[in-house]
Structure 1
Amino acid sequence: MKKIGILGGTFNPPHIGHLIIANEVGMAAGLDEVWFMPNQEPPHKEKSAGAEDRDRLAMLQLATKGNRLFKIQSIELERPGPSYTADTMDIIKKEYPKDQFYFIIGADMVEYLPKWHRIDELLKKVTFIGVERPGYSMETEYEIMSVDVPEINISSSMVRSRLRKGETVNYLVPEEVVRYIRENQLYGP
């Protein structure tokens, strides 16, 4: 039985904050793998403009290469419509019935848990691991694990904004991802 953490998001683009969270949670929780799971349509927000699904996957592959803990799970990109975690976990649990799953979320999503689709069923399938985020509370009525990670206040929207303005994103995004963004003229002016 493997202990697998899942970090979902748009990863549009993936940045150093995503990597730090995945690595820190993986080590603190003793996970065997951390899956980066890009979603198709996050139900709680509009899909961000910018990169196509194939570009987001390519950038994730570049960002995560070299870390044996990191894997990419593209299941949510392979199905149409909103990416409800409960639906995704139904599929994953059928495919990996013996593994134990941990869903990694930021404090913004901890506050949002009561609104998650089929939350009570989902809590039987995964253990949530909450990561603190500036300006959000970790208090919830649901049982979650909490992992302390270095505070890294980087967001994909901030990275996209800087790129649109022609500003640097060095050290915010892995170098290989910056190169991919430039070569494929993503997010730029």
Structure 2
Amino acid sequence: DLNRASPPSEPPSTPECTIEMSEEQGLERVAAEFWKAQLARNQSIVVDLFQGQMRSVFMCTSCGHSRVVFEAFNSLILPVESATGKPLSNIYDCLKEFARPTDLSGDNGWYCAKCNTLSESTCDTRLWKLPSVLMIQLRRFKQLSPTRWSKSSHHVHYPTEAELDLSEFVAESHQRDAPRYRLLGVVRHRGVMTGG
């Protein structure tokens, strides 16, 4: 076991930290408290190198009520198609699609505490704290039905001669290190959803 947390605490009921936008605490402080709680139960070389933090803002389109959610991540999962199904040809397009605000409605709506119901809302996700080593996973599989999946196999260009600059995808945090990465390796999955 690589976990250095002594003793590792019980996991929380939810893996994220949620706050109301109207609270007096600054986002930096809440994000730091979430990160501290995360390290209290999970601290290892894997966390040191590969774990980052995201910030999502949910906003009710009816009343304007907002909630901020912080989550830890070990790999950044990016779409390879736009919302309209168009293939994305380079990693920056995939990042832009990942960071594009999402409309939530119907059964997929967000529960607004002020309206006391599932409401139409938006979700805006940004990177908050970036890891030393960033793993990017391309979401190539799409569910067509409960038993049928489709795999997108088109090429996605990554800048091999230059650094990947994530500045425009980082939230208004005080990210200390420049959000730039060089490609170190690629793992290619050959096969289908159930094996390969």
TM-score, normalised on structure 1? Answer: 0.27
TM-score, normalised on structure 2? Answer: 0.26
Question: Is the radius of gyration larger for structure 1 or structure 2?
Answer: 2
Q: Which has the higher contact order (CA 8 A, sep 6+)?
A: 1
**Which has more helix, going by share of residues?**
1
**Which has more strand, going by share of residues?**
2
